[in-house]
Chains A and B, each alone.
Chain A
Amino acid sequence: MAELNMTLSVLTKLDALAGGLFLLTAFGLVAMRQVLASLNLFVLQSILLAASAFILGHQHDSIHLYAVAGITLAIKAVLIPWLLRRTISQEIYARREISQVLNIPTSLLLSVALMILAYFIASPLLSLGHEPFIKVNLPIGLAGLLLGAYMVMVRREAVPQVIGILAMENGAFFAGVAIAPDLPLIAELAAAFDVLIIALVMGLLTRRIHERVGTTAVGRMTSLKEE
């Protein structure tokens, strides 16, 4: 029994470590100016998501979550970055986004506020589960979701917006591996496939905008509105 508690607490600590790093990457995504660096941070974030799924899989002794970890690694850490770099010309990745809607110190302050909001929203739900993992994963996942949404809104370049959306999905899944560990594998597979299609569709659309309009600063496209 003591041994079990011991492993449990080690696992909890490992999961908390993964969670903390996950949150850090979410902040990094908001602060990062360089397009390529955002993509790399997204890969790191996905690896952390897979790590959390792996730790939880070990805890629940579920092949299911191991599979989720594997799928996440294969699709989000390998396939999606490859796809995005394939479809969009290299020159865009070298760009630095100088003008965002808000400057970076303000963005980081707002991000902290969002993170506190996430804890605030999640706190009434934390007493429902007895597992320590939910207490780590749910608020951090929610914070990842909100920070991703924030990133999409303040960025003007197309690729960081795509990465923001993928980071939002990462946040939702980070909470998901803890709160819904036994979601049917078919749904999990379909969702992963779905994320892949998001990256593909948005990548192709970015390429088309680049070819047709000559810019990927989608935040500056404002011809459609009421006068």
Chain B
Amino acid sequence: MELIYLLITPALAAGLCLIPAGKKWAPAVTILGTLATLILSWGAALRTARGEEVVALANWISCDSFGALMALLVAFVGFTAAIFSWGYMERIVAPNNPGKIRRYYARYNLFLLSMLAVPIFSQVALVWIAVELTTLLSVFLVSFENTPEALEAAWKYVVLTCMGAAFALLGVLMLYWGMSVSGPAPFTWAGLTGASTRVPPALLQAAFLLILIGFGTKAGLVPLHTWLPDAHSQAPSPVCALLSGVETTTILYAILRLLPILKAAPAIHAEKWFLTFGLLSVGAAAFLLIQVKDYKRLFAFSTVEHMGIILVAAGLGGSAAHYGATLQMVSHALSKSFCFFAAGSTLLAVRSRDISAVRGLIRTSPVAAVALLLGGLAIAGAPPFAVFLSEISILKAGLASGQYLTTGLLAVFIVIAFCGILFPINRMVFGNPGEPSRNRVLGATSVITLVLAAIPILLFGLYIPEPLHELLRLAAVSLGR
């Protein structure tokens, strides 16, 4: 039942946000709503960590450990981004425009609803619809600032991801065809995995490639990533945290769900496809990172890189690599959302997105500077942060399984990206400020968000609590079948 509440809460919050009841009403409703979803998904995650499956409506709405993990991530980032929105939207995007702020929060909640639906739905056709809705409900969040650049980014975003969705739709329909050929079974991830040996391999292959292309466009895999840096840099910063931190991860979740199904047909070489697309994404993103001039774009390209890393980890195969993949999904979602909160704080302090316009931030706005530095270190994979731990576990698993070339290339690309992220951030934080800029004090909500979001990335780098470890392990098992 909690899964139903998990879907109703954001829908209800979206409706309530539209009531014109003072300036603080919509943000307060959103924060309370996201807190409720966080608690609900926490409960669901704890139950699945004990090996149960949470079922609300059998074969339609249910989730196992992997799904619950995704829902928990979405809910956590949704909560922190809601707090961050409070100060950010009033100060930067829509000062003195309560109607616009209400619309923002209504769309925010609907977007959250669609992202929660992806892991909670277990019927595959509904998952496709939920994925498509994540695009359609976030388009006007991307274009929210209504600048020509934001509109251009939103247009590219909706056109490319909807094209991808059409390909994925045919893929999903082919999976359904395969199910009906193989005999009666529910059209869910678990049902598909069970029936996969009876589905003709040619059909599985066609469906897999269509879905990989389709959802891969939305997850930002190279060469289908071209919209991603635009959309993820032009949206308001809390929305970027959601887009980059969890939206891409939830879509990748839907792709990874195919992995156990494809085990039935080794001739498809699903792992090889994952490795190819993964390495291509990591490599291209690592080199594209170097020439970026806008610090939000920097983090957006780093998302492409991380999607690649997760895909490579899934492609390496074996339970250790799969554990690394799920851990990387968690650490990426948490670190990347923190990075965008830091970028948003910097934007609040400096009011410019250019890397070259920000120098010596540590003197003008120490809080934003420390956050930016922490975010950069965390996302690039420096110890002792969560990404370091997950990347090391992936590389270790790769070496242990004897795939030296892949692991070596992955390590090289990660190091290039590390430099590509930290050099510009170093200049922004410690560089020599040409002229003293005005001091802007960050609002309380920004500081609270930064502290809240920093706790897990520091904690998980040092120690992974037992229930989370169990949840990750079970999720990794569900990947490997």
Residues of A within 8 A of B (CB): 121, 124-125, 128-129, 141-142, 145, 148-149, 152, 158, 161, 165, 168-169, 171-173, 175-176, 179-180, 182-184, 187, 190-191, 194, 197-198, 201-202, 204-205, 208-209, 212-213, 218, 221-224, 226-227
Contacts and interface: CB of A to CB of B under 8 A. Distances in A.
Contact of A205 (B132, B155, B187, B234): B155
Nearest to A168: B166
Interface in B131-173: 132-133, 136, 139-140, 143, 146-149, 151-156, 158-159, 162-163, 166-167, 169-170, 173
Contacts of A182: 180
Contacts of A141: 170
Nearest to B199: A128
Contacts of A198: 132, 136, 162
B140 A221 contact: no
A125 B203 contact: yes
A193 to B, nearest CB: 8
Contacts of A142: 170
Contact of A194 (B136, B146, B158, B176): B136
Contact of B166 (A124, A125, A145): A145
Contact of B177 (A161, A172, A180, A187): A180
A183 B169 contact: no
Given A152-B163, A172-B169, A224 B152 contact: yes
Contacts of A168: 163, 166-167
A190 B166 contact: no
A205 B150 CA distance: 11
Given A175-B170, A226-B292, A213 B177 contact: no
Nearest to A187: B125
A128 B202 contact: yes
Nearest to A124: B202
Given A205-B140, A226-B291, 14 more contacts: A148-B166, A190-B126, A190-B129, A191-B125, A191-B129, A198-B162, A201-B158, A205-B158, A208-B151, A212-B151, A218-B152, A224-B149, A226-B292, A227-B291
B181 to A, nearest CB: 7
A184 B153 CA distance: 35
B51 interface: no
Contacts of B198: none
A201 B202 CA distance: 36
A14 B286 CA distance: 54
Given A175-B173, A194-B136, A128 B158 contact: no
B286 to A, nearest CB: 14
9 contacts: A152-B159, A165-B159, A176-B170, A180-B176, A180-B180, A183-B173, A201-B139, A209-B152, A221-B151
A154 to B, nearest CB: 13
A223 B174 contact: no
B152 A205 contact: no
Nearest to B128: A191
